[in-house]
Structure 1
Amino acid sequence: MKTLKYITFTLILATLFISCGGGSDSEPNLVDPIAPVVLDPTAAGLVFPEDNTECNEGVINANDETKSTVTFQWSASENTDSYEVKIKNLETGSITTAISTTNQKEVSINRGTPYEWYIVSLANGTSSTATSETWAFYNQGQGIENYAPFPAVAISPQRGATISSANTTITLEWSTSDVDDDIVSYEVLFDTAETPVTSLGDTTETSIEATITAGTTYYWKVISKDSFDNTSNSELFEFRVE
């Protein structure tokens, strides 16, 4: 009877030893946790201020009547944790960036000033972003009955482009718009100087021909004029001829 108890006790100890990993030099295999998949954000859809319109819903700042607070709104995008609201002053070229975790943001901007804006969608855990369309608008100003055209945007050649010297002429093309829809003409300044002063003349079209020479960098800008003699200057565009 004692022998049987001894054997039983020995078997129990052996079982416990084996179950606790005894008798093996190998470490147990640890399974790495599966990292969560972070999906890239999608682009937001712009809602307000609307494209090529006058924004007249801003709240005039009590301490500075030259500014008003505008609530920018856009549709929520998928896989997005936050948004960057990019607002560019088309008169100065300066860009204001505001951060939001919802699909709207109040921003104080100058009155009587043209702007363009767009949204950058961001997601935690990834450096990928998505950018919306770009819309332009005028922030309403006191006593303004007619607005100057929006500054022209280069279509061809694009800014910084390098083109072939196979031809001796090039067609400069641009686009623009106007809240009042009363643009009457454009003047194009075209030169090899970074501040172009040579005028190619006035045109009612959104393109004009210019003579070019190989191995030269050219600079150009467009002055848009409306029926009230309001004008707007585009940014400076440049391209190089090989």
Structure 2
Amino acid sequence: MRILKYTYYIILVNLLLISCGGGSDNDTPVDPIVPVVLDPDAASLIFPEDNTECNEGVVSTSDETKSTVTFEWSAAENTDSYEIKLKNLDTGSVTTAVSNTNEKDISINRGTPYEWYVISLANGTSTSATSDTWSFYNQGPGIENYAPFPAIAISPQRGSTVSSSSTTIILEWTTSDVDDDIVSYEILFDTSETPTVSLGETIESTIEATIASGNTYYWKVITKDSFDNSSISELFEFRIE
């Protein structure tokens, strides 16, 4: 009987040691649980609408050249905050605003073209998501007809290197106009960073240019409308291998 009691005692002690973490030095440590942070989704822009005139801004009482516009976009999944990027297409200057909701009041110049997009951000990750880019004109006092939006290069892509055995290349661009009255495009094209050589005017959104291997080319698009308004694009460049 004593032997049985002694054996039972040893088994009980071993069970207690195991349950309390004592005993073996080969116990596998438990890794801490790391929370999973999901990447944010891209927002969808709502207002100001693309390629339109924004006429809902509140004009400043202290400066009539400015108005406050409420920018709106859809709430994005897995997102804690947003960065609103707003570019003045006349000056090229970019303004950044931050919001924890899906709207933001921003004071901007009247009678001025802008483009904007929204970046979705999430705490705990450096990954972000970017919305589409939209353009609009902020309504100005006494403006009956707006200049076209500055053209955007499609091909060759800005900063690209092109492999070509041809002596010519097709330049392609896109643009829009609130009043829908664009009448022509003039293309400035040269190896100079300030191109002054005109390839002529066209009503199409493409034009052929002569090229040579090893050169870097720079070009701009001047867009004109029926009221003699015009806009000049940013400088585009590409290199020929």
Give the alignment's TM-score, normalised by structure 1. 0.90
1:177 aligns to what?
Answer: 176
Q: In 2, Cα distance between the equivalents of 1:94 and 1:204?
A: 30
CA contact (8 A) 1:188 1:199 kept: yes
SS of structure 2 residue aligned to 1:149:
coil
Give the corresponding residue for 2:147: 148
Matched with 1:139 is 138
What amino acid does structure 2 have at the position aligned with 1:71? T
Residue number in structure 2 paired with 1:70: 69
2:105 is the counterpart of 1:106: yes
Q: Partner amino acid for 2:83?
A: E
CA displacement at 1:48 relative to structure 2: 0.1
Q: In structure 1, the residue corresponding to 2:123 is in which secondary structure?
A: coil
Structure 1's 17 and 39: CA in aligned 2 closer, same or farther, altered over 3 A?
Answer: closer
Q: Give the match for residue 157 of structure 1.
A: 156
Displacement of 1:125 in angstroms is: 1.0
CA RMSD, Structure 1 to Structure 2 (Å) = 2.2
Structure 2 CA distance, aligned partners of 1:237 and 1:192?
11
Unaligned runs of 5+ in 1: none
**Structure 1 CA distance for aligned equivalents of residues 166 and 221 of structure 2:** 23
Secondary structure of the corresponding residue to residue 30 of structure 2: coil
Q: Which residue of 1 aligns with 2:36?
A: 37
Do the aligned residues in 2 keep the contact of 1:165 with 1:213 (CA within 8 Å)? no
Shift of the 208–31 alpha-carbon distance from structure 1 to 2, 3 Å rule, reads same
Cα offsets for 1:148-190 (capped at 9, x unmatched): 0000000000111111230000111000000000000110000
Q: Which structure 1 residue ranges, 4+ long, deviate > 4 Å from structure 2? A: 14-23, 27-30
| 1:1-242 matched pairs, under 5 angstroms | 15=13, 19=17, 24=23, 26=25, 30-242=29-241
Whole-angstrom distance in 1 between the partners of 2:13 and 2:37: 46
- Cα distance 1:145–1:22, how it changes in 2: closer, same or farther (>3 A)? closer
Residues 191 and 219 of structure 1 are in contact (CA less than 8 Å); yes or no, is this contact kept in structure 2?
A: yes
Residues in 1 aligned to 2:182 and 2:200: alpha-carbon distance in whole angstroms: 16
Instruction: Give the whole-Å Cα distance in 1 for the aligned partners of 2:225 and 2:42.
Output: 34
State the 1:32 CA deviation: 2.4
Larger radius of gyration: 1
* Distance (Å, rounded) in 2 between the aligned partners of 1:225 and 1:21: 83
Q: 1:24 Cα shift?
A: 3.4
CA distance in 2, matches of 1:22, 1:185: 82
Distance 2:237 2:21 in 1: 77
Q: Which runs of 5+ in 2 are unaligned?
A: none
Q: C-alpha separation between the residues in 1 aligned to 2:65 and 2:155?
A: 36
- 1:185–1:203 contact (8 Å) kept in structure 2: yes
Separation of aligned partners in 1, 2:106 and 2:174:
28
* Distance in 1, Cα, partners of 2:156 & 2:29: 59
Q: Distance in 2 between matches of 1:214 and 1:133?
A: 35
- Measure how far apart 1:22 and its partner are: 9.7
CA 1:23 to 1:199, structure 2 compared with 1: closer, same or farther past 3 Å?
Answer: closer
Inter-partner Cα distance in structure 2 for 1:133 and 1:145? 29
